[in-house]
Amino acid sequence: MQHPLPRGPFRSCKDIVLASASPRRQDLLHRLGINFLVQASEAPEPSWTESWQSAGEFVLAAARNKTKDILQGTPRGVVLGADTVISLEGSVLGKARSREQALDILRRLSGRTHKVLTGCCLTEKGGGEEAFIVATDVAMAAVEEDVLRAYVDTGEYEGKAGAYAIQGVGSFLVQGISGSYTNVVGLPLQEVLSGLLRMEAVRIHMEDKPQ
C-alpha cells in the first residue's frame, strides 16, 4: 500500500515497512511525511500468562514477533513492528472479542487509572535494531453502566486495546493522560521517529525557498 505524496517535515532514506494493518498506526506514521509500505504480520501473538515478568516484556515480545515475521520476506530496508496493550494492576487486557468482553473491560477501567504500553521494534535487514517500550498513564472517568452499553453499541471497541478509542467517540471516557498521546492511539510517534533517525532511515526535509 502506497500513501499519497507526503507533506510532513521528514522523508524516507531507506525502504520502510510497517508490519501492521492498523489504519491508526498508518495515519500517525504518514503524518511525519515519510513514504512506507504496509505488510501486515501474520505472526501469532503471544498469550498473556503469569509467567511473563511484566506487561512490558510481553508487549515487546509481540512487537519483535511481528518484525521478524515480515523481515524474512523483505529484501532490504527497515521493518517496524508494534503492539499495544492495556495494563491494569499488573494484568494485561487485550482486545475485546465480543460486546460482552468489551463491556467487562470498560467496567474494570471505569473510574481508575491504567497504563497503555506499546512495544516497538525497528529492525534493518542485515543491520541493527531499535527496540523499546513506551508507557502512558490514562485516567478514566467513572461512567454509568447505561453509558458504557451505549458506547459499546457504536462498535468502536472492535480491534482496540482496552475496548476504547481515545481519538474517536471514546475520548469522552478519558479524564486525563500522563505521557504520550500518540502512544494511546497506537504508535508513540516521537520515539519511533527518534529510532528511524538514529538508523538513518529518514531525514529532515527542507523546502527550497526562492532567493
Active site residues: 83
Distance CA 173, CA 183 (A): 17
Residue 87 DSSP SS3 = strand
Distance CA 75, CA 198 (A): 21
- The runs of H, that is alpha helices, within 98-171 are 99-109, 145-153
Counts for the chain of helices (H) and strands (E), in that order: 6, 9
Query: Grid cell 482486545 — which residue?
Result: 95
- Give the CA distances from residue 62 to residues 21, 56, 70, 90, 205, in Å, rounded to whole numbers and listed in that order: 15, 10, 13, 17, 32
Among the listed residues 108, 63, 65, 87, the one whose alpha carbon sits nearest the alpha carbon of residue 161? 87
CA angle 197, 84, 112 (to 5 degrees): 125
Q: How far is CA 27 from the centre of its chain?
A: 11
